[in-house]
Amino acid sequence: MSKIKFFLNESMPLEMHKVRVVQKLNLIPIEDRKKALDEGGYNTFLLRNRDVFLDMLTDSGTNAMSDRQVAAMLAADDAYAGSETFYRLEKVLQFFFGMKFFLPAHQGRACENIISKTFVKPGDIIPMNYHFTTTKAHIELNGGKVEEIFIDEALKVTSDCPFKGDIDINKLHKLIKEVGVERIPFLRIELGTNLIGGQPVSLENIIKVAKICHEHKIMVVTDASLLADNIYFNKEREEFCKNLSLHEIILKIAAATDIMYFSARKLGCARGGGICVRDVELFNKMKELVPLYEGFLTYGGMSVREMEAMAIGLEETLDLELVNQGPQFIAGFGKKLMEQGVPIVTPTGGLGCHLDARRFIPHVKSEEYPAGALAAAIYLVSGIRGMERGTLSETRNPDGSEHPAGVELVRLALPRRVFTMSQISYSVDRIAWLFKNRDLIKGLKFVDEPKVLRFFLGRLAPIDDWATKLMKKFREDFGNSL
Ligand SMILES: *Cc1c(COP(=O)(O)O)cnc(C)c1O
């Protein structure tokens, strides 16, 4: 394996930037954090930012921008139609993916709406590696069904498999045989597979899968939201990519793909999204939905400032010294947690460090949302806001029973270039304390359960008032400190 070295040692990554603008943080006392949890229904999505110390909910729209991005925003060309900013961004994307056509959209899920509305019919099957929440919702909304054909290693939380995002080729052959190509409009590949711990897909797998799909005239759609982390791992872990530049890796992924779409809240460190295609017919099929749902074709619901920032952010994504910052900080974070015995997903991936709630609190059943409870407990003892990625993020079975998630994770996202190593040390310290006191954590139960994407707005309560007990223990051990 080719090792990319930018760190002093494996638990001390090196920042390849300096900080020039800062934002003051608040760390409120644990009693106030308990109140904030009560008010937010023990759902970290419903906390207010003023009550959060380190916001590790997501990297979506929260990556730090570079000086060049901020400068470019001032030079944006405001126009409803025909903005020069749009043409600049289009040109960067043509270079970036080697694809001629670009449709702008206000964020990643808007691309999923357009793609699903255009290509998914009732009864269709969409094969993919592990699903993503909004992708699955849009496919199902249009009458389709998601069929996950990831490799068996994908759901093993402790593993040394370098590419847990890979698609299982045998499962793909079997599915095509069983379902028939008529019912498979496209196969979706998610780079940097979000819900299983930011796990990458190998370039060799993408090329093999695309070859099989194209032999059967099945389109390949790639979700490139987490492309930056994925290409870092291609470069670091994949023999096949050792001598390729980051841009060459991207071009090879795009060459195997018919439609690339992305959330620019992640890729490009800005806000927005878009769909890129090579083929004019595919472009024409989707294009009418952009003015209908997003905005005119030269802005698609985005502000021109964000489009300027995105153009620069995409260019900067070709720089290994930028791209390494996410994965290397996550690896350092993970190593420190493991030294304290805290169970995490291995190997560490992109996006964030993922705690394995099933091993952290094995006494809490899936039906009582262990990852949700752990995310709430972490906030209570540290002010750190993570995100539940487990059964709470799933949809109930048609009979109303719970659908236990394949993995039960708490994601501590590390937006790029935002946190320092001392903040990471603080996080490790508090999480290690919580791990020692893990028996105090119990599950959660719903107080108010929305029907669609319930994890965003659902309200819950702690079973047996465990949060109060945990707070008391915290006060015993930490005295007056926050
Ligand atoms: C975030 C994300 C999306 C959705 O993007 P939004 O901009 O949040 O709508 C889709 N796919 C993946 C892999 C993501 O991580």
pLDDT digits (tens, 9 = 90+) for 80-121: 999 999 999 999 999 999 999 999 999 999 999 999 999 999
SS (H, E, C) the chain: CCCCCCCCECCECCCCCCCCCCCCCCCCCHHHHHHHHHHCCCCHHHCCHHHCCEECCCCCCCCCCCHHHHHHHHCCCCCCCCCHHHHHHHHHHHHHHCCCEEEEECCHHHHHHHHHHHHCCCCCEEEECCCCHHHHHHHHHCCCEEEECECHHHHCCCCCCCCCCCECHHHHHHHHHHHCHHHCCEEEEECCECCCCCECCCHHHHHHHHHHHHHCCCEEEEECCCHHHHHHHHHHHCHHHCCCCHHHHHHHHHHCCCEEEEECCCCCCCCCEEEEECCHHHHHHHHCHHHHHCCCCCCCCCCHHHHHHHHHHHHHCCCHHHHCHHHHHHHHHHHHHHHCCCCECCCCCCCEEEEEHHHHCCCCCHHHCHHHHHHHHHHHHHCEECEEECHHHCCCCCCCCCCCCCCCEEEEECCCCCCCHHHHHHHHHHHHHHHHCHHHCCCEEEEECCCCCHHHHCEEEEHHHHHHHHHHHHHHHHCCCC
Render pLDDT for 260-290 as a digit per residue (tens, 0 to 9).
Answer: 999 999 999 999 999 999 999 999 999 999 9
Whether residue 60 has its Cβ less than 6 Å from ligand 1: yes
CA 200–ligand 1 middle distance (angstroms): 15
Q: What is the mean pLDDT of the chain?
A: 96
Q: Half-sphere exposure of residue 357, counting CA atoms within 13 Å on the CB side? A: 35
Q: Which residue has the tokens 């999480």?
A: 431
Q: What would the two tokens of residue 322 be?
A: 């930028």
What gap in Å lies between CA 120 and CA 248, rounded to an integer? 31
Domain with CATH 3.90.1150.10 in the chain: 4-59+322-478
* Confidence class for position 11, pLDDT limits 50, 70, 90: low
Residue of 265, 351, 393, 411 to mutate, ligand 1, most atoms within 8 A of C-beta: 265
Name the closest-CA residue to atom 6, ligand 1. Answer: 108
Q: 188 C-alpha vs ligand 1 centroid, how far in Å?
A: 14
Residues marked active site are found at 80, 132-133, 223, 266, 389, 455
Judge if pTM exceeds 0.85. yes
**Is there an atom of ligand 1 within 6 Å of 263 CB?**
yes
Share of the chain above pLDDT 70, in %: 98
**108 in ligand 1 pocket by Cβ < 6 Å?**
yes
Whether the per-residue pLDDT at 12 is higher than 90: the answer is no
pLDDT of residue 453: 87
pLDDT the model gives residue 13? 84
Protein residue with its CA nearest to atom 3 in ligand 1: 108
pLDDT per position as a tens digit, 376-388? 999 999 999 999 9
Residue 62 Cβ contacting ligand 1 at under 6 Å: no
Closest CA to 431 of 356, 348, 329, 322: 356
Ligand 1 centroid distance, CA of 226 (Å):
8
Best residue among 57, 111, 128, 266 to mutate for probing ligand 1's pocket (most ligand atoms within 8 Å of CB) is: 266
The per-residue pLDDT for 452 is: 86
CA–CA distance, 284 with 277 (Å, rounded to integer): 10
| Arithmetic mean of pLDDT, 433-444 | 98
Q: Does residue 470 surpass a pLDDT of 70?
A: yes
223 pocket-lining for ligand 1 (C-beta < 6 Å)? yes
Amino acid at 172: L
Question: What is the model's pLDDT at position 1?
Answer: 43
pLDDT, residue 85, reads 97
CATH value of 4-59+322-478 in 3.40.50.300, 3.30.413.10, 3.10.150.10, 3.90.1150.10: 3.90.1150.10
CATH 3.40.640.10 residue spans of the chain: 67-321
| CB of residue 226 inside a 6 A radius of ligand 1 | yes
Taking residues 186-200, what's their average pLDDT?
97
CA of 143 to the centre of ligand 1 (A): 21
pLDDT of residue 90: 98
Ligand 1 pocket member 271 (CB < 6 A):
no
Provide mean pLDDT across the span 122-142. Answer: 97
What pLDDT is stored for residue 2 in this prediction? 47
pLDDT tens per residue, range 442-460 = 999 999 999 988 999 999 9
134 lines ligand 1 (CB under 6 A): yes
- Report pLDDT digits (tens) over 249-260: 999 999 999 999
User: Could you tell me the distance, in angstroms and rounded to a whole number, from the CA of residue 338 to the centre of ligand 1?
Assistant: 28
Is 67-321 a domain of CATH 3.40.640.10?
Answer: yes
**109 Cα: distance to centroid of ligand 1 (angstroms):** 6
In whole angstroms, give the CA distance from residue 320 to residue 310: 17
Give the integer Cα–Cα distance in Å for 188 and 347: 23
Q: State the Cα–Cα distance between residues 158 and 156, nearest whole angstrom.
A: 5
Average pLDDT in the 180-206 region?
97
Burial 177-200 (b: 16+ CB within 10 A, else e): eebeeeebbbbbbbbbbbbbbbbb
pLDDT tens figures, 315-368: 999 999 899 999 999 999 999 999 999 999 999 999 999 999 999 999 999 999
